[in-house]
Structure 1
């Protein structure tokens, strides 16, 4: 939101210390959207409050900007995003995996290849295509991967094929579905499709559900959807009043909850936001958020080299079919 200078300040500092450039796009107050501009099928409900509509419109505005200005690709991040201090090295490996999955030629206009529509890097869970043979880019022994003990989201891919195993394994894959839009890249073709599905046709939904359907290529007959598991970016929750979290829901409804004593960045091992002081002082040594589960309790970002991935092919017969109880277990894999 335009009035959340606190969030903009923190993101600007994090980006500066990470060597990134960001452009802020104003969030949308749902009260400013006239009813005649609502999507045809949109209904305000308890589960989907007005804030969901404002969030949806904010993403639509980004896609429209891409079409108007002929922006070929964009990385979209929510305002509570945080990322790892090794994000550039992480994304270099994501690029290798993305190029492999697309069978990209040696020369492309984008380092991630040129034939993708959506690339999901921050989410709260995703599924893989377990009913068909699938290719993966597998990165083993990655110290930045969030440990299994901290993967509290319930929607998880089936990783029972032996080549996908490992608590420190990160995958680049073609997901079947995902939820949450912590961060994702979208091409101009993907933006055009999203506007068609979500703003022109009477099919609008909460934005993450709408984008998740783009990944269901068999249902929609189009699109190359890529993703990372676990996620590359996480969610920062600042210390203090929880009412200062997302503007998607009413702050007053959170006012009764106790203050958060310690800041946290969900789903990240070496978060930028929790290491701002060290980075600002020029220190290259940063600490793990979960030292008891870390491969390294601290790392030196000037010398650490992340492992390179390898191609893997999994046939559908290699997945173990999970029963309903297993699929819902907190730290188990879901299909």
Structure 2
């Protein structure tokens, strides 16, 4: 991974956060060239087909998964490093910083996350349960066909909180440390985990390396995401959000998802997580928060407001850190 000083990486992360919050990833660009996550996904599929052989022993499949992850990171970081070296020959340091920031925006999901979750709110308002179920099915993997309004709203809020950590805070955190290569490293591992890091017969062994590494690199971001949500909560709910995190975050089956989910639950005086159904199977999980589970569409709107404030706080922190670093440098 290429190493840059914080006087470069902090401005890269700050500029990327501001730019992506305003522009997102333009749809015409997606239609023209796709998206870096899609490109990585295609390589992950190829590695899965090449190295993941169900007839092999569990130990050999774990080793194959490690090799596949190593190849994946070597390719993505190698291409990133090559692009940056080429850019160094043609662009000034200032333009290179801007180029890194623009490239980093493609790996952050502030705007798209808000758009997808807001679509659930609008669908509930305009099309009732049928529309809400359809909209929330685009952002969660659980069974949505039998969800009532409370279940739809909880699913959307949980996705909002968890993806604030995974899709916003984490890539910006790693970009703040290592610039574009840091964001690429994080997003590559996170994409691998989302595709092959499942406890299924096909992926429990092969995807173990990706899942374990994803858990590790999300540890700092999940805690920072929870802090942002706590600070973004209405003044009277900040203490309850903190209590929910302290009491419930470690009870979640994920070592990371419980932190932002508990913070969001406390901030809204709700209960989130809890038992859910995936592919017809009930998945037990602890509740986050000790409020009501009867969430409504208005709670979803309040959650979106907290999310926007949390993103704003993160941007302010990054801008402040970048300016401080530049002044000290």
Normalising by structure 2, we get a TM-score of 0.28
Identify the structure with the greater helix proportion: 2
Instruction: Identify, as 1 or 2, the structure richer in strand.
Output: 1
